[in-house]
Amino acid sequence: MKEKGQRKRMALLINNVKFDHLSERRGAEKDVENMEKLLKALGYTVETHRDLSAQDIDEAVKGFSQHQAHLESDSTPPEKNLFLIDNIFKHLNTKNCAGLRNKPKVIVIQACRGDEIRTVSDSASAPKSLEDDGMWKELKERDFACLIACTPDTMSYRDPVKGAILIQKLVETINTHAHKDHIEELFRKVRYQFDGSKCQMPVTDRTSLVKKFYLFPGL
């Protein structure tokens, strides 16, 4: 393994606040601020994009997958405004992203899921200060770990001031436990904090890691 100072770790953040047919995602900028701070502290070079169209998101992920630095790292239906999450996996898989072959790829998705929204319980159960997030279409690969904000056909919630509940708990969990826990255990600890919640339950999806992956640069 390379020395800590020689490692190249890269992260891609895409944050959409404004949409043509959905309300503005107030508090989402706080998510970017928190994630950028966390990732940089973990030794990652962060590439951030804001308010991209579906096509622009696709191009950003594709461009990220072809980044030369990956070679040295150790670590939508046909509607123009809908981005297929499946494309993230496609662009970063071993066939299309040789630089990340056999290397861990962590994906965190903060969004509601699906067309038909069925909340886990009455909308009255959600704190009034929280807002539901924008929706994405979901379709149903080695060394992926993916955490999604909620189960299919349910809402994910965001505080207009503090940002998304998932991102808040994820950042707190990583800051507290990344020195000793691998990524799947960190994700489990995040899910545990939602135990008993009537509003939201994050899930891990398409996780295919074959080895334990630690975010902390010193490990």
CB contact at 8 A, 144 and 116? no
**Could you report the per-residue pLDDT of 108-141, keeping only the tens digit for each?**
888 776 544 343 334 445 566 666 666 555 434 7
Question: 29: part of which helix (H) or strand (E)?
Answer: helix 28-41
Per-residue pLDDT at 219 = 42
Q: From residue 191, give the alpha-carbon distance in Å to each of 85, 150, 163.
A: 21, 10, 17
pLDDT at 154: 82
Spatial distance between the Cα atoms of 110 and 130, rounded to a whole number of angstroms: 14
- pLDDT score at 97: 84
pTM metric for this prediction:
0.70
195 burial via Cβ count (<10 Å: 0-12, 13-18, 19+): exposed
Residue 110: closest CA among 140, 81, 85: 85
Predicted confidence at residue 135, as pLDDT, reads 56
Q: What pLDDT, on a 0 to 100 scale, did the predictor assign at position 191?
A: 95
Residue-wise pLDDT tens digits, 140-189: 478 999 999 998 888 888 889 999 999 999 999 999 999 999 999 999 99
| More confident of the two residues 62 and 66 | 62
- The tens digit of pLDDT for each residue in 33-46 reads 999 999 999 999 99
Mean pLDDT of the chain: 79
Residues 6+ apart with CB under 8 A from 138: 85, 86, 113, 114, 152
Output 219 or 45, whichever has higher pLDDT.
45
Domains of the chain and CATH, by start: 6-204 (3.40.50.1460)
Residue 49 scores a pLDDT above 70: yes
Given this model, what pLDDT does residue 75 score? 43
